[in-house]
Amino acid sequence: MNPIPIIDASSAAALVEEGMTLHVGGFLGCGSPDGILAALLARGTRGLTLVCNDTAIWGAKGGRSNGVAALVAKRQFSRVIASHIGTNPETQRQMNAGETEVVLVPQGTLAERVRAAGAGLGGVLTATGLGTEAADGKGKVTVGDRVFLLELPLPGDVALIKAKRADRAGNLQYSKTARNFNPLMASACALVIAEVEELVEIGEIDPEHVHTPSIFVDYLVMAGVK
């Protein structure tokens, strides 16, 4: 098994190009690759479509911020696909002002759409959203006596994910709830960059404890290395 390339955060950010669809792991910033996101913020790449569970926590005027929040504030995303934006008033402001397109997707549906992309599925059926604005413009499928919405896959160009540990082949382990969307996004994107806190030798991670296999991962970034 060959070692996976290890790059710095700035090199990782350079792989994200204007107009790309970017999947970012995390839940309110927990499990987000903060080093790569800081480098992407510094690089200033714009016109991106963000797929993320949420837009993290934005604290204006010196308050606490994390995850993708600062990139939202810098207007680097032209489109945001997320399950909620309630902890980031800047996302709400941009949406209400028509400055950024925000597509709100129920959390379970968002996860399933990402999973469908990784699994090569043509879509998923769900009853969530029937009879609401979430159903507007979507196909409906009747199975037996039940009606379901057809939700389409949500693939991405680049996934920026965060893991607790990796071996030199690129097998990943996540830490508890920081796992969240990271494994799904690793399977759904053409290019996957994982920021990791610890690097071990090949064979040191029990195969039964691998959460994301190396076949999905293209580059590693060591946390704290700019």
Query: pLDDT 10s per residue in the chain (226 long)?
Result: 789 999 999 999 999 999 999 999 999 999 999 999 999 999 999 999 999 999 999 886 666 788 999 999 999 999 999 999 999 999 999 999 999 999 999 999 999 999 999 999 999 999 999 999 889 999 999 999 999 999 999 999 999 999 999 999 999 999 999 999 999 999 999 999 999 999 999 999 999 999 999 999 999 999 987 6
Residue 70 exposed, middle or buried by CB count within 10 Å (0-12, 13-18, 19+)? middle
Closest CA to 185 of 82, 113, 105, 77: 113
**What's the number of CA atoms in the CB half-sphere (13 Å) around residue 3?**
7
Rounded Cα distance, 39 and 192, in Å: 16
Contact 172, 194 (CB under 8 A): yes
What's this model's pTM, rounded to 2 decimal places?
0.95
Per-domain residue ranges of the chain: 6-121+155-222
In words, the CATH class of domain 6-121+155-222 is alpha beta
Q: Which two tokens stand for residue 31?
A: 């499990």
